[in-house]
Structure 1
Amino acid sequence: MFAKYGIAEQIAQNGFYSISAGQIKEFRKPRLMAKFDHAINRPSIFQDSDLAILPTSRGTYAISQFQAYHELETLKGDRQRIFIPDYLQSLSPEGLVSESIALNCAYSCGILNDFLEEEIIYPTVSGRMGSGDFSFTINGKDRTQNIYVQNAQIEIDGAYEGIESLALFEAKGSLSQDFIIRRLYYPFRTWRERVKKPIKLVFLTYSNGVFNLYLYRFDNPQNYNSILLEKQKNYVISTKISLSTIENLLKTVPVTIEPALPFPQANSMEKIINLIELLHNTPMEQGTITEKYGFDPRQTNYYADAGRYLGLVDRESGNHVKFKLSEIGQRVVEQEYTQRQLSIAGCMLEHKVFRDVLRFHLEHGKMPSIADIVKIMKDANLHNIEADTTYARRATTVSSWVNWILGLIDNGI
């Protein structure tokens, strides 16, 4: 398309290029060619020139050096434990397989009322709809662009209205590093003209019974890049796991021979579990995983290899590297929620390093220092680690994973 229509030259001359769905359809379905939810998803010709694409109507798009993405802020604060009401037999933590079910669960558990600070809320609009007409400014590489939108198609995962506000939700079942602002901005501009009460914009991620919610606002409603984080809060469905359960796990899980694999360098156990959820019944090529997460390829390898280290993921070689769940991983991901957590913890505790660090914490009431963890690692005959700086980096993964196990404990039990 760039070669046929001289897109790069048009952008250099005019600042942007307007392309029709008909032009795109000559090569591929427009829906696929214009949907890049994360910056890393963009094709190389976009990334090399720092380009992005935004819809301007149901049949046209603008391509330019738009600053179209927002990096998710680092999660802060403890997780608030919540419970699915016992009488709701159709909802379960392991059954949150779509955005709509996850939102229904968050609604039913009181997460949305708490986060939105509304005593009573009702689900209202959702799905695809027209945006109406509006204009806005967006930052470019070296200029500000003016964009006019005329009844583009938008999609809202869920909307919840209370006495004080209307909240619009964008929900994701993958734990990515950024998102395209359009998914919040276009619905905001659409509904800002249709209701008189304040609009709250919420980006929600969910995985393995954990809900992370981000409340955003646009400081200048006319500017796409004026997005600001107002509030962030985390919730987790209670595992009903006690300290004695973890202590018993430490006593009963057998030690395995250290695998001939790189020692993990992937601090987020949540992302590893999210990966095995995504791989459930669906093997994925390395590039597909990169797209789902908005990772760079190196991070994809880190997290996939961490899953292999735990025995949950297998790697298939061929024309393209492909990852799939192992038999153990398939069995674990299909387990009931609490047992799934214990099984994953058990996979960790089969390895001497994680056992010794957890035992240290339980005996001393604190995590050992990085230097102490490095000593534990050096005593465990690990593979493929030589430099002390590498040991120190891997030690942060050990600390993070053990803290994940400790975070399973419900202190209210």
Structure 2
Amino acid sequence: MADYRILDALDTKNSFEISSREINKYKQSRLMCKIDFKKDRPKAFRENNLSVLAINNGNYKIARTDPFLDLKAVKKKKPEKSFELPRNFISLQANNITSESKALDAAKLSGMLDYLCKEKTELTIRGREYCQDFDFYLADINDNKIEYNVSGVQIEVDGGYENSESIVLIEAKMGLTDDMNIRQLLYPHMSYQKKYKKKIATYLMFYEVGGYFHFIPFEVIEQRCILDFKRYRIFSLNQQVQERCKFSDIKNIDLAADLTDRNIPFPQANSFEIVLTTFYKLAEKDSITKEKMFLEHDISLRQWDYYSNVLLWMQLVEKNEDGAKQKVYSLTERGKRLINLSEKERIFEMAKIIFSNEVVNLFLNTDNPNIPKDLLIRNKINPEADTFPRRMNTVKSWKRFFKEVLK
């Protein structure tokens, strides 16, 4: 895209507007401009402190701004209150929350949302629509105020609720993350402020394995976007205790050469929560391409390769070609069996698959095992490669996750 001399334009005007038609000459704009996480910025954006945000349907603004919210303050800690689902409900189980919509429904049915909002609150908004016209500002790296005039951009609300005092918008996520694009919270918040006279209360909600719900209020104060961690709250949803699903039970597991696929690259994906989320997203579809998964969910193309490979390696997912010769992913029979288990049983079965691998199994009793070279060769692991430490760190990270969840 050097033809447009974007950096020169930024030096004189501080921002540059470009259409999807112009971007499509090089790559699909819908893929190029969907940057949900800071680490997913293209190299040129990272090196030049660039960002891109939609300003209307088919047009984008590039500037030297930082449109990402820092979420490192979201921590695992003791919940302030515990809730239960009504016992006469059987179609939604506290121990089988596998999607954002299930997490939101559980929060509503258990009374968690009413408690958060301090009064009875009902679901009134869910899905996609085009936004109202609104303006906002972000400061660039030189402290210039960059104005964004937004009109007719598609927005999506995971859950919108109403009570006598306010409309409550919730952006729901499965699993914790270090940061996220401000667009997902800011655009619905500003649009509904224009659309309705009632107060708009916006929350970012994370569902964490084990039945934990994190709620962080989002506000726009004097043109500054703020996550109010002083009002950050954590609740839990009571899950049925499964005594047999303990990490200590895995220590005696037998090695099984057929449970993991040695033809798939050995895992290099530290967050097992993202492995779970990717598995859950795939379970919602009969089959899906990588590109469609990227467009519909908060996952980058690069991240998808790492985490889908884990599921292929565990033989929970298979990759085939559809009629259009596109690579599509779908659950295997083993994957379909696991998705129907409770959360803790599912994670326990996944741990058994992983630790049945002869390399991973060596980490059960130590974090620094002496791995025989023939085991590495059989599992296509090169101990001299730059990726070797990262692959071993993946195993250590997963071990910590399983010990915590299956304690």
TM-score after normalising by structure 2: 0.71
Amino acid at match of 1:345: A
Question: Deviation string for 1:256-285 (max 9, x for gaps)?
Answer: 138646554433221112222233332544
CA distance in 2 between counterparts of 1:223 and 1:267 reads 33
| Alignment partner, residue 110 of structure 2 | 109
* Residue 332, structure 1, aligned to residue 335, structure 2: no
Amino acid at match of 2:122: Y
Q: 1:350 to 1:380 in 2, by over 3 A?
A: farther
How many angstroms does 1:145 deviate by? 0.9
| Alignment partner, residue 400 of structure 1 | 397
Query: Structure 1 regions of 5+ residues with no counterpart?
Result: 361-371
CA distance in 2 between counterparts of 1:43 and 1:388 reads 25
| Alignment partner, residue 347 of structure 1 | 353
Q: 1:8 to 1:234 in 2, by over 3 A?
A: farther
Provide the aligned length of Structure 1 versus Structure 2. Answer: 391
How many angstroms does 1:202 deviate by? 1.6
* Residue 303, structure 1, aligned to residue 307, structure 2: yes
| Alignment partner, residue 89 of structure 2 | 88
| Alignment partner, residue 383 of structure 2 | 386
Structure 2 residue matching 1:345: 3-state secondary structure = helix
| Alignment partner, residue 13 of structure 2 | 14
Deviates most, 156-165 or 267-276: 156-165
Question: Deviation string for 1:361-406 (max 9, x for gaps)?
Answer: xxxxxxxxxxx42136569944526379988765554443334334
Structure 2 residue matching 1:279: 3-state secondary structure = helix
Mapping 1:262-281, distance limit 5 Å:
263-280=266-283, 281=286
Calculate the aligned-residue CA RMSD, in Å. 4.9
Conserved in 1, the CA contact under 8 Å of 2:65 and 2:140? yes
How many angstroms does 1:92 deviate by? 3.6
Structure 1 residue matching 2:369: 3-state secondary structure = helix
| Alignment partner, residue 238 of structure 1 | 239
Query: Structure 2 regions of 5+ residues with no counterpart?
Result: none
CA distance in 2 between counterparts of 1:85 and 1:316 reads 41
CA distance in 2 between counterparts of 1:325 and 1:375 reads 33
Mapping 1:152-231, distance limit 5 Å:
154-161=155-162, 166-172=167-173, 177-192=178-193, 194-195=196-197, 199-206=200-207, 213-218=214-219, 220-224=221-225, 226-227=226-227, 229-230=229-230, 231=232
| Alignment partner, residue 369 of structure 1 | none
How many angstroms does 1:215 deviate by? 0.9
Conserved in 1, the CA contact under 8 Å of 2:317 and 2:329? yes
Amino acid at match of 1:282: S
Q: Percent identity?
A: 25
Question: Deviation string for 1:76-100 (max 9, x for gaps)?
Answer: 1247575433312232468766644
Q: 1:185 to 1:377 in 2, by over 3 A?
A: same
Amino acid at match of 1:145: I
CA distance in 1 between counterparts of 2:292 and 2:387 reads 26
| Alignment partner, residue 375 of structure 1 | 369
CA distance in 1 between counterparts of 2:304 and 2:26 reads 29
Amino acid at match of 1:332: L
Q: 1:288 to 1:167 in 2, by over 3 A?
A: closer
TM-score after normalising by structure 1: 0.70
* Residue 70, structure 1, aligned to residue 72, structure 2: no
CA distance in 1 between counterparts of 2:309 and 2:383 reads 18
Conserved in 1, the CA contact under 8 Å of 2:269 and 2:310? yes
CA distance in 1 between counterparts of 2:287 and 2:354 reads 24
Q: 1:7 to 1:174 in 2, by over 3 A?
A: farther
Q: 1:229 to 1:265 in 2, by over 3 A?
A: same
Structure 1 residue matching 2:122: 3-state secondary structure = strand
CA distance in 2 between counterparts of 1:271 and 1:188 reads 27
CA distance in 1 between counterparts of 2:21 and 2:338 reads 46
Q: 1:79 to 1:278 in 2, by over 3 A?
A: farther
